[in-house]
Amino acid sequence: MEGQNRAAIAHGLKVKIVLKKDQRTGVLTEGIVKDILTKSPSHPHGIKVRLEDGQVGRVKQILR
């Protein structure tokens, strides 16, 4: 999964995240990274980020 390594994620990057409320269904939300919230270099469920619209979730896909 692309979103597990912090080094691959940068401010302004377009990503798809899973919100806390959508973890059971796996519904993805698309947006632009505003803040990277996970401090560790990697996380098995994806790096936690805040999007520009204020939504917080774990990165599942990095869009190029």
Average pLDDT across each block of 10 residues of the chain; the chain has 64 residues. List them in order. 90 97 97 98 97 98 93
pTM: 0.94
Q: Using an 8 Å Cβ cutoff, are 62 and 30 in contact?
A: no
Q: Under CATH, which number does the domain 2-62 receive?
A: 2.30.30
CA pair distance 54, 40, nearest whole angstrom: 21
pLDDT value of position 40:
97
Q: Show me where the domains of the chain are located.
A: 2-62
Task: Give the pLDDT score at 14.
Answer: 97
Write down the pLDDT at residue 2: 82
